[in-house]
Each structure stands twice: as C-alpha cells, then as structure tokens.
A and B are shown apart, each in its own frame.
Chain A
C-alpha cells in the first residue's frame, strides 16, 4: 500500500485524473443535452409517482371516515323511513279517537261541537231555539188552560 505515496504513483494518479476530467469537460453538447433531459425526466417521473402515491395515501386516510359517515347516513335514512308514516297520525288522531271512544259524553260533545262548527249547524241551532220557544209557550199555554179549566 505504500505505493500510493510513491511519487510515480501520485503522478500517475494525477495524470489519469486530469485526463478523465478533461474527457468529462469535453463531452459533446448532444450528450450534455441528453443528460439534462434524462435528469428532468427522472425528476418528473418521480414527482408523478409521488403525486399518485399521495393521492392513494389520501384515499386510504379518508376512506374509514367516509365509510363511517356513509354508514351513519344510511342508518338515519332507514330509521327515518320507518318512523315517518307512523308518527304524526298515530300520536294525534289515534289518541283523540281513543279518548272519545272511552267517554260517551265527550263523544256527544264532540259531535255537537262538530255540528256547531259546521256551517249548516247554525240553522239547526235556530230550529232548536224555535223548538225550545214553542215547547215553553205550549207548556205555558197548557198550564194556563189547566188552571183555567
């Protein structure tokens, strides 16, 4: 190994290095241009591969959250479909019907209320009023007659 420090060897190394470096510096423009293109192509390809890897990584990162959201949404939609036809009518009209059926007076009252609220029931109410007037006057007349007779 001592030959490395031998002046002749050192000189040989210097000359070979000089020769090789000169050949590197003297590369034709065509080769230098192709090397530049190769470098750019390598960097672009690597950037493209990196971008696609990032997209894939993004997909992998957001996939569980997306799946969970979709599952929750599906559960809500299915539950909503089952509950929608039952809720409004069952809670209001069904409950009232049961109460009315359980209480006859309430049923009659409700029917009267319905008739009163109805437009035609006003005439009936007048008729009832006339009837009551007639009944009172008839009773009075009969009373008078009986007293008088």
Chain B
C-alpha cells in the first residue's frame, strides 16, 4: 500500500501543469531557468552519452528534455527542477533506445540493408573520443575513462542511473529517488549493486 501511495505521489509530481499553473509559468523568471539548464546541460549530456553511446542522440535527448522541462514544468519550484529534468532525460534516453531497437529490427529485414550494421550495438571505434590534441579530448581518450564508460554502459539501466545521478550529478538519495521515481531504499540498492559491479569490472584499472 505504501509503495502504491509513493507511486501515486510520484505520478502526480510528473503530471503536466494545469491552466492555473500556466499563470505562474508566464510570470516565471526565464533567466533562472536558463541558468539552471546551463548548469546541468554538460553533465546531462555525458549521462545521456554514456547511456546511448552516441553523441548526436545524446544531444537530441538533452534538448528534448530541456524543452519538455521548460514547456511543462517551469512553473514548479526551482528545487524540483533537477529531479524532474533527470527523470525526463531518462525517459528521453529510453525512448531513443526503443526507437533504435525498432529501427534496427526494421533495417535487418530490409534486403538492401546488407546487415553490415547488424543491430544498433555501439561501435567502439565510432564511439571513441575525438583524437584532437586538446587537453580536454586527451582526458576523454584516457583508457581508464573508456573502461569506465564501457562498464557503466553495461550496467542495468536503473543501476547506471542511480550511479551517475549520485556520483556525477551529486544528488542525494531523496532527490535521486524523485528523479528515478522509486523509493530511497531502491536507490540505495541500485547504487550499491552498481558500485559492486563497477569495482569488479574496473579493478585492474584502479590497482
């Protein structure tokens, strides 16, 4: 019963604004929303990129999440924006993964597709960071970073989400639970399992 009540509260928190809320939306300071988006967009992009393993798709997902947040939830208190944004972003990522799967199935049935692409499995060479000789890119091309990205991508979606929100975004357990739409206990469980798996897979890079 408690889980059902939590689900109801979570669902209600994601409902779009009603007409009365639109009044607040018009009066809302657009500048603060822009500052918020500017503050989260890079981490959001990395989180989406780790999940999707594709730069353009990650950018599309982030932009879509930004648009949905501004359009539907800008009237909410600013402290709610971050969990809402990451919840929307995760939905966008999931939609994109689903679309990829469908596209991959359709393409595999087409005679001229040749099947060289196979499925939508990410190509490690294609996903490798740009080898331009800048310090930033140099950091991305780091072998450890690649190993971490691969290990994160191999995690179940919920574990990966719990890990990046807690570890990279620095959200506390309660905010992560709101972003994931689950209980705080579930967040702790997902995070703990993610840690265990990552440590087991990345042990050689950390020793």
Contact = CB atoms under 8 A, between A and B. Distances in A.
A35 B30 contact: no
Query: Number of contact residues on B: which range applies?
Result: 35 or more
Contacts of B69: 42
Interface string B173-207: 00000000000000010011001101100000010
Nearest to B36: A39
B59 A38 contact: yes
B11 interface: no
A49 B137 CA distance: 38
Contacts, number: 115
Nearest to B59: A34
B148 interface: yes
A110 interface: no
A73 interface: no
A34 B168 CA distance: 21
Nearest to A8: B199
Interface of B: 19, 22, 25-26, 30, 33-34, 37-38, 41-43, 45-46, 55, 59, 62-63, 66-67, 69-71, 74, 130, 132, 134-140, 142, 144-145, 148, 164, 167-168, 188, 191-192, 195-196, 198-199, 206
B33 A19 contact: no
Contact of B148 (A16, A31, A39): A16
Contacts of B43: 24
Nearest to A14: B167
Contacts of B62: 35, 38
Given A24-B42, A28-B134, A38-B66, A19 B140 contact: no
